[in-house]
A and B are shown apart, each in its own frame.
Chain A
Amino acid sequence: GAVVSQHPSRVICKSGTSVKIECRSLDFQATTMFWYRQFPKKSLMLMATSNEGSKATYEQGVEKDKFLINHASLTLSTLTVTSAHPEDSSFYICSAGIRTGLSGYTFGSGTRLTVV
């Protein structure tokens, strides 16, 4: 159980464009999903908590207008990086759990974003 699918795995985009990343829970319903950013050889930095049917909760310092999160269904959360800049280049990973906060989380395979 607990499979999380994330797409795309890699994306290259031009500065100023927007990129959408999808995170799907394939065999369970996820009322909560988490979006992380990871720089090379660094830890995971939580960007926001995505809540189905309501607004996402963003961590301090994360621009909510730049990183748009939509969690329209119990199995899908999307992260849109708007007006991307080279400094947005990073590894973005989502995660979800069957019993949020009560057991381990499953991570998506991640999306490596390169903004040129």
Chain B
Amino acid sequence: GQQVMQIPQYQHVQEGEDFTTYCNSSTTLSNIQWYKQRPGGHPVFLIQLVKSGEVKKQKRLTFQFGEAKKNSSLHITATQTTDVGTYFCAGLKQGAQKLVFGQGTRLTINP
């Protein structure tokens, strides 16, 4: 079945350093979505990427979708303590409704 692999599993950075998490799907995706889950909270939708090679920015966050629509990345510039949490990518196959989640990358930050 479809799998979405996400690395790294954990990342600890100093405040102000950059952070990147990567996702790779075993199959071509219709779109990929990114979610953030704070400790003790629930996943919150961040963004959706649909087009091949698409790049979207949200303030310090940059999201990319690969040309083959099988991989994606989330890059955070100059991390802040508010960025702490687990970032999940989730892929959607063409015509499908259910998301397949990556394992998540747990980001912790040293202030």
Contact = CB atoms under 8 A, between A and B. Distances in A.
B98 interface: yes
A107 B33 contact: no
B92 A44 contact: no
Contacts of B106: 41
A42 B103 CA distance: 7
A32 B97 contact: yes
A74 interface: no
B43 A43 contact: no
Contacts, number: 49
Contacts of B44: 107
Interface stretch (A12-20, A64-72, A80-88, A96-104): A96-104
Contacts of B102: 43
Interface string B1-45: 000000000000000000000000000001001010000011111
- Would you call the interface of chain A mostly helix, strand, loop, or mixed? loop
A108 B42 contact: yes
A37 to B, nearest CB: 12
B78 interface: no
Given A93-B42, A103-B48, A107-B43, A43 B103 contact: yes
Interface of B: 30, 33, 35, 41-48, 88, 92, 95-104, 106
Given A95-B43, A105-B99, 15 more contacts: A32-B97, A34-B98, A34-B99, A44-B43, A44-B101, A49-B98, A100-B97, A101-B30, A101-B92, A103-B48, A104-B45, A104-B47, A105-B45, A107-B44, A109-B41
